[in-house]
Amino acid sequence: METKENKRHTVQDRRNILDAVSDLADTQGGVVSRAQAYAAGLTRGELRAQIAARRWQRVWTRSVCVHTGEVSARGRQWAAVFEGGDRAMLDGEASLVASGLQNYRVSVLRVSVPRGVKPLRATGLDIRRTRRWSAAERVVTGVPRTRVPVAAVRAAMWAASDKQAALLLTMPVQQGMTTPELIGRALLTVRRDRRRRLMHAVVTDLIGGVRSLGELDFARQCRRRGLPEPSRQRVRRGKDGRYYLDVIWDDFGLVVEIDGIHHSWATSVVPDALRQNEVSLGRATVLRLPLLGLRVAADEFFDQIDRGLRAGGWCGAA
């Protein structure tokens, strides 16, 4: 027969269990998986009671948030992984954001699971089986996710556009999250992908700066577009070790300065240069071309070069 003392112990045990669940949730953005709650000693009935009493809330199907306010970004990241199962991990751009990528927002959390796992479907989630899943590429401190170099490469592969792909390779390097060399190593494992050539070009740019462009490459771009070849090209190195290339048409009074990768935000350097060029065309003959612009907006920049040459007296290809 249960005594009052035993009953008090039972109530205290329940409180201890709830405290343990709450403490665990504090380390996971306010979220725990149902499996974690049960492992701590909570029964299914007690978990349902917390939700029914509106003290907790469901997060997708396999997690709960231990408050009823807005679920934090970190909490959603943990819940996304719980939704994928024991071997799931955030991947691509979601992994980059979880690792600390700034000034970038994701609307759908990509989660990778090994082959043989049945993916679930839920709003705001993209859980996919992949043959590229590897435990060696999984960060296990904090929310489970792919390592930054691998995440950057996969984010570029899955990006909606070439421009977004270039940004996702560039921004982690600019923010000091990884190095171009490590991204290059991760890229070597990609044997087939429609953006493989673009990704190699961007990573080469990140590693070598404007040296990878080459004077002959720029001249070929001019010939392909029917522009005159520059009369002089000079590669120079700045105090910070970054490379720059001056392209000069003496006969038409036009100079294009091609800037290597630098520490401006990748999301702004290309549009900023385009806007600056528009202003410069009205009163000057110096245009700026960020190296990233050659990868994501070459036509727009070469259109400006064409206009600059014509303003200097070039009459166009015969």
Query: Higher model confidence: residue 244 or residue 271?
Result: 271
| Residues 77 and 65 placed together within one structural domain of the fold | no
Q: How confident is the model at residue 6 (pLDDT cuts 50, 70, 90)?
A: very low
Q: Per-residue confidence at 5, pLDDT binned at 50, 70, 90?
A: very low
Which residue did the predictor score with more confidence, 162 or 285?
162
Domain closes at, from 160, 186, 210: 210
Same domain for 224 and 206, yes or no, is: no
* pLDDT (0 to 100) of residue 9: 46
Residues 79 and 203 in one domain: yes
**In this predicted model, what pLDDT tens digit does every residue of 23-77 receive, in sequence order?**
999 999 999 999 999 999 999 999 999 999 999 999 999 999 999 999 999 999 9
Whether residues 282 and 218 share a domain: the answer is: yes
pTM attached to this predicted model: 0.79
Residue 215 binned pLDDT confidence (cut-offs 50, 70, 90): low
At residue 132, does pLDDT exceed 80? no
Strand ranges across the sheet with 57-59? 31-33, 63-65, 57-59
Name 96's Cβ contacts closer than 8 Å, sequence gap at least 6: 104, 148, 151, 152, 155, 168, 171, 172, 177
Answer yes or no: is pLDDT of 91 > 80.
yes
In this structure, the answer to whether residues 247 and 194 fall within a common structural domain is no
Three-state SS at 131: coil
* C-alpha torsion angle, residues 99, 101, 106, 112 (rounded to 10): -30
d(CA 163, CA 172): 15
Per-residue confidence (pLDDT) for residue 297, from 0 to 100: 81
Total number of domains in the chain: 3
Note the pLDDT of residue 233. Answer: 77
Shared-domain flag, residues 23 and 124 = no
Residues 59 and 128 in one domain: no
Q: Where in the sequence is the domain holding 206, given as residue range(s)?
A: 72-210
Mean pLDDT of the chain: 87
Q: Do 224 and 204 belong together in one domain? A: no
The answer on 143 and 182 residing in a single domain is yes
Question: Quick one: 151 and 177 in the same domain?
Answer: yes
Q: Give 21's Cβ-side CA count (13 Å radius).
A: 28
CA–CA separation, 198 and 166 (whole Å): 8
What's the chain's length in residues?
318
Q: Residues 200, 226: one domain?
A: no
